A and B are shown apart, each in its own frame.
Chain A
């Protein structure tokens, strides 16, 4: 079955770089888009960016200057890197997959999320 799982450090210091990994199973990264969505504590959801099935990337313009998404198809992993972290980057980070091919931006499968705290 389709599974996604986020991993990474729970604590990042201000001004440092966040590196997260989304490890997927049950589908191929060359067939489906994978997105990153984040949620500050007690607040709403923000789409950050996506890795398309063909290797192209798209980013939220609000984060574009700080954000990079890449992948390793041989390891079934998608990576998120975001630099210059500040306290308002604290939150739960999710990776999620489109419902099916062609159903772009409809997030049917989600990882459990990983909580990232930005603090010194």
Chain B
């Protein structure tokens, strides 16, 4: 199975900050990397697919980059609604696997 390692596990930020979350795959997954946001008590929401494609309806302050084994989710000018948990997930091969999550907290 492909292991997905996210860092950091916790991230403190203020409204208006730019933040980045990292995700590393245990093997080459090309660009088959997705990012999700999950708010407390809700289902995950797809933000970014194929490493850098913005899902319909997602604000442009979210962006993704990377290929191969190293990927990044960036949030430009964090807003109050962005404080939640973020997961990366590989869709390169079965079983699909997720990172452990990064909790973005208000500083």
Listed in ascending order, the chain A residues whose CB lies under 8 Å from chain B are 35, 44-47, 58, 60-62, 94, 96, 99, 103-108, 110-113
Contact = CB atoms under 8 A, between A and B. Distances in A.
B43 A110 contact: yes
A44 B91 CA distance: 16
A46 to B, nearest CB: 7
Contacts of A106: 34, 46, 49-50, 91
Nearest to B91: A105
Interface stretch (B15-23, B64-72, B94-102): B94-102
B94 A45 contact: no
Report whether over half of chain A's contact residues are helix, strand or loop; otherwise say mixed: loop
Contact of B32 (A35, A44, A105): A105
A103 B98 contact: no
Which size class do B's interface residues fall under?
20 to 34
B99 A113 contact: no
Q: Which of B36, B92, B94, B101 has the most CB of A within 10 A?
A: B94
Most-contacted residue by chain B among A94, A110, A113 (CB, 10 A): A110
B44 A107 contact: yes
B52 interface: no
Contact of A45 (B32, B44, B55): B44
A120 to B, nearest CB: 26
A99 B36 CA distance: 13
Nearest to A46: B98
Contacts of A107: 34, 36, 44, 46, 89
A9 B93 CA distance: 32
15 contacts: A35-B96, A44-B100, A47-B98, A58-B94, A60-B95, A61-B95, A96-B43, A99-B46, A99-B55, A105-B94, A105-B96, A106-B34, A107-B44, A112-B43, A113-B43
Contacts of A112: 43
Contact of A94 (B34, B43, B87, B99): B43
